[in-house]
Structure 1
């Protein structure tokens, strides 16, 4: 299930709790357009060289994202508010991709933080 958070304290408390529980928390920071969002995912998650900087490649890379054995991954897209305001269509596309991966993988949860 994808979690949506907005307030700073709410998001910080959520992330602190996940870390305390031992989750593998991966944070992707922001982006203001399609290119910068794809670059943020590539760099912040250290995606493989084959990552093609397009929506299909993002979906494939997130499906293949590896974590520590037996430790749930919490994928956090932080600072998503700027993109939601600047380009709602691109924002919705990213959210749809994240929700799809969240639905497909039992070992991965997604949090979208719009601050």
Structure 2
């Protein structure tokens, strides 16, 4: 399941609520083009050295993401609005990848914040 929050929502409150519920919250921030968004995911998720910084590698990395707790992983892609405005194709691709990974995993939930 993917939750979308717009720029006028309260994403910080949403993140705190997820933590309170016991979710393993992982925040990835920003990206204005394909290169910078892949770097944001690599950094934000502390992806392994084999991460190839391409769309297929992102999906593979999300499939292999290890939970650090017993609760579900909540991946929050924050500040996604800049990519949506400047490179809609890449934004749509990232959303598709996040949704595919969430569909394949019972323990992965996704929130996209377009502020």
Written as runs of structure 1 = structure 2, the 5 A alignment for 1:12-91 is: 12-91=12-91
Partners of 1:89 and 1:26 in 2: CA distance = 24
In the alignment of these two chains, the number of paired residues is 115
Structure 1 residue aligned with 2:108: 108
Deviating runs (4+, > 3 A) in structure 1?
none
Gaps of 5+ in 2: none
Partners of 1:81 and 1:75 in 2: CA distance = 16
**SS in structure 1 at match of 2:82:** helix
Partners of 1:110 and 1:70 in 2: CA distance = 17
Partners of 1:42 and 1:84 in 2: CA distance = 19
Deviations 1:18-42 (A, max 9, x none): 0111111000000000000000000
TM-score by length of 1: 0.96
Displacement of 1:68 in angstroms is 2.4
Q: In 1, are the aligned partners of 2:5 and 2:11 still within 8 Å (CA)?
A: yes
TM-score by length of 2: 0.96
Displacement of 1:16 in angstroms is 1.0
Gaps of 5+ in 1: none
**SS in structure 2 at match of 1:5:** strand
Partners of 1:27 and 1:20 in 2: CA distance = 15
Displacement of 1:7 in angstroms is 3.5
- Decide which moves more: 73-82 or 61-70: 61-70
